[in-house]
Amino acid sequence: MTDQRPPGDLPGGEPGGLTCDEVRDLAASFVLGALTDSEMDAVREHLADCPETHDEFAELGAVVPALDAAVPLMEPPSGLRDRILAVAAADLDARRQVDASSAAPAPPVAAARTVAPRAAEPVGPSDVEPVAGPTPAAEPISIESARRRRPLTWLAGIAAVLAIVLLGAWNLSLQGQLNAAQTYQQQVASVLSAASQPGALTAVLAPPSGQGPNGIAAVTSDGKMRIAMRDLAPTTGDEVYEAWMILPNTPPAPVGGLTVGSDGSGFIEAGGVPAQPGLVLALTREPRPGMTAPSGDPVSVGTTTSTENSTG
């Protein structure tokens, strides 16, 4: 499989439709990821079936992960950790809820496999695992430091509690429940993403009395607002839920609306909202879109506060 194909000759019996020479020509681009998906697949197919070892891939590929070591180091925003843990917690709760709802026992989590490292392994995709890749430069690691457990901050707590309450309230089919959980999880993650930005404000929206819709909102310093809500009654016809911002001594101003399906969750993203602590956010159910003033009492209300004074 080493002969070069004459120009114009269509791919035939060559692995991946490529000759060995053609694959060698693509090796550098392949290890750098600089091919289209179809080209990558063709090379992979060739490597899987070709009896030649194609050492050029190992020779060139060995260097690629070193490129990560050249990256200037930057610390991520402090809120990112909370966001990741909050979403992971919500994900875990969703899985547990689904498991609990299922008649069949949940499949056991497979333990990490312990395959002995092999120093000389054929290069090829046939036994490639879903993810494998480069190793950036080593960084100092304090194991003891890394093992320290930290309590979840308020942000993680809010997301986890919301997810738990949400999931407990839902009475959907298993798949529907999972889909709804994932949807709400993504919405909460989006709000937390905004909440983690410097200068952002957050608000927990809750019904004025008793049970009802609740959720979480974030307003960034540039006036963008996201609200994730759950337990909303589905809208019908032209009905919408409208979000209002209420500044002191100022009539409510509409900031965005949404319709709600059977899953009861809703998400609003809008701009032009002042990042001002004490701003009241309210959600009302309106007979139609475009209302300039609330037609009834709010179903859920919250007041923005600064996250910087609350994170731990």
| Minimum CB distance to other proteins smaller for 55 or for 297 | 55
- Contact indicator for 286, 294 with CB cutoff of 8 Å: yes
Among the listed residues 145, 153, 156, 167, the one whose alpha carbon sits nearest the alpha carbon of residue 84? 156
Residues 6+ apart with CB under 8 A from 268: 225, 226, 227, 229, 243, 255, 256, 257, 258
Distance CA 310, CA 82 (A): 12
Tell the smallest beta-carbon distance from residue 120 to other proteins (Å). 7
Tokens describing residue 220: 């960034």
- Contact indicator for 139, 76 with CB cutoff of 8 Å: no
Q: 149-188: which residues touch other proteins (CB under 8 A)?
A: 149-150
**29 lies in the site for other proteins, by CB under 8 A:** yes
For the beta sheet containing 240-246, the strands, ordered from the edge strand earlier in sequence to the opposite edge, are: 253-258, 240-246, 280-286, 300-303
Binding mask 255-274 toward other proteins (x if CB under 8 A, else -) reads: --------------------
Interface with other proteins (CB under 8 A), residue from 10, 100, 103, 115: 115
| Minimum CB distance to other proteins smaller for 152 or for 206 | 152
**72 lies in the site for other proteins, by CB under 8 A:** yes
Tell the smallest beta-carbon distance from residue 159 to other proteins (Å). 12
**48 lies in the site for other proteins, by CB under 8 A:** no
Distance CA 223, CA 288 (A): 26
From 11-19, 61-69, 205-213, 256-264, span contacting other proteins (CB under 8 A): 61-69
Tell the smallest beta-carbon distance from residue 225 to other proteins (Å). 16
Number of residues near other proteins (by CB under 8 A): 89
109-130: burial string, b at 16+ Cβ within 10 Å, e else:
eeeeeeeeeeeeeebbeeeeee
**312 lies in the site for other proteins, by CB under 8 A:** no
Tell the smallest beta-carbon distance from residue 146 to other proteins (Å). 5
Q: Rounded to 5 degrees, what are φ and ψ at 291?
A: -65, 140
Cα angle for residues 169, 188, 207 (degrees, 5° grid): 50
**10 lies in the site for other proteins, by CB under 8 A:** no
- Contact indicator for 97, 169 with CB cutoff of 8 Å: no
Q: 198-257: which residues touch other proteins (CB under 8 A)?
A: none
Distance CA 245, CA 268 (A): 13
Tell the smallest beta-carbon distance from residue 180 to other proteins (Å). 18
From 50-58, 170-178, 260-268, 295-303, span contacting other proteins (CB under 8 A): 50-58
Interface with other proteins (CB under 8 A), residue from 8, 12, 75, 104: 75
**143 lies in the site for other proteins, by CB under 8 A:** yes
Distance CA 6, CA 280 (A): 73
**44 lies in the site for other proteins, by CB under 8 A:** yes
Residues 6+ apart with CB under 8 A from 184: 90, 162, 163, 166, 228, 230, 263, 265
Tell the smallest beta-carbon distance from residue 22 to other proteins (Å). 11
Q: 76-95: which residues touch other proteins (CB under 8 A)?
A: 76-77, 80-81, 83-85, 87-89, 91-92
- For residue 138, what are the β-bridge partners? none
**31 lies in the site for other proteins, by CB under 8 A:** yes
Tell the smallest beta-carbon distance from residue 297 to other proteins (Å). 36
